Amino acid sequence: MSRINLDLQASHKMLMLLDEANANTESVIDLMPGIFLVLNENHEVLRANQGFLELFGFDAEDIFRAPLARFFRKENWSVFAHNIRQVVEASEPYPMLRFEMGLSTKAGETESPFHWTLTRRIVKNQGEGRLVMVFGDDISGLREAERRLSRVFTSIPLGIFTIDGNAQISDTYSSYLESMLGQGALAGECIEDVLFGPAMATMSPEAVAGVLAIRECLGRSELTYGNYLRVFPKEIYHDPDPSVREGRWLRITYQPIVFDGFVDQMLVILEDRTAIVNAEREMLDAAREREKSQALERQSMEFYERAIRDPLTGLYTRLYMKDAVAALLWSHDREQIHEASMVIFDIDHFKRVNDTYGHKSGDVILASVGQKILELCPEQAIPIRLGGEELAVFTPHGLVETLALAESIRRSIESMVCALGGESICVTVSGGVAEHIRGESVDDLMQRADGLLYAAKADGRNRISADVEMAGLI
């Protein structure tokens, strides 16, 4: 399931230097990770690193010319000895054999899985005979991690597998995979045949190129992987037997497995989205037109934004106000916040602007005023477009703070210049500020603020009126 431990390969490279080393040979051997042994043709230990000595509790003198067979169970040793013989008698100059076999250090003890590499050492003195080098690495921790990972994989409805450098399936990690693809014995099969074969006949040339790009990226630099990933198929309809019509919609995720800077293998994850796609199709059938699922999601978000955001001013709508403002006043009623207030704005002489410059110009002014309110409102404030040219801001603050905010907005709008075609005009707003009284409804609060707004208009417009007497400020 796992790739060869990189430390073993590093150890092998180190050993190639030993023949030429003139000093510190034993210390170099002891520094090698895992187990390292040099055996003669009689399977006797000539050299052993510190890792092997510590594992069995021996010193170097005790282990010299000890038969390696004494450290293995009988049934395991017969296999091990056979592998040594294959390496010794191999015709190639640098034979190497890798395999996995358990090793136990005490009688009756549960074996720990080890990964072994055997190779023949080239000697200058033929009197030494043919020597075999043995590398062993304890992979019990890796196997336990794999078991935990496997339990996770087999319990989720995903198909997970890896492909090797030839785009063939090397390992599978999910019991759900064979059921998903409707095929058993997947190892050794090409990904194009297993996953895409049934669909490639109807694919566009671009989609086919995306399938072939999976094979092409293997063995290439990881720096170029992003270019290939962009064209990989991300979702397909997999139907190995169209006559039965039991195909599945599969979403595909790819993860490169990089070795020495190159894409050596690839992890492929399949998510069965058939139920989701079918549900989406049912929803689309009830709608005006059939769209893809992503378009439906975007449309849903747009509907939500339209419901709570006024597209012209950017302020919240009355629909949002019902929930957000009710929650604000509910918190004030239960003394979760100390104060709550609101201000209602109305654009002065807005009807005259519409009559003189047209409704499009009126929309420009409304958008500019709304943007100015959004810029000046603190994060906790709730800016609302009530309707027409009437705007409001609810705050979790008292009358003084809300009055200061209202004045700041009024002055900023007063200094604003709106370009309407070939003309530039200035607009003003009037406002009424009221502080919430515990137990007071939203409608009653707005009615009081509305009365103060009309008082400001009666006093000449371009001003803010507040119920300072009720708030106890005078």
Q: Active-site residue numbers? A: 389
**What is the spatial distance between Cα 97 and Cα 220, in angstroms, rounded to a whole number?**
27
- Give the tokens for residue 224: 């170029």
Q: Name the β-bridge partners of 234.
A: none
* Interatomic CA distance for residues 399 and 287, integer angstroms: 48
Strand order in the sheet with 341-347: 382-387, 390-395, 341-347, 429-435, 464-466
Please tell me the distance from the alpha carbon of residue 35 to that of residue 135, in angstroms, as a whole number.
6
Q: How distant, in Å, are the alpha carbons of 368, 374, 426 from that of 419?
A: 10, 20, 9
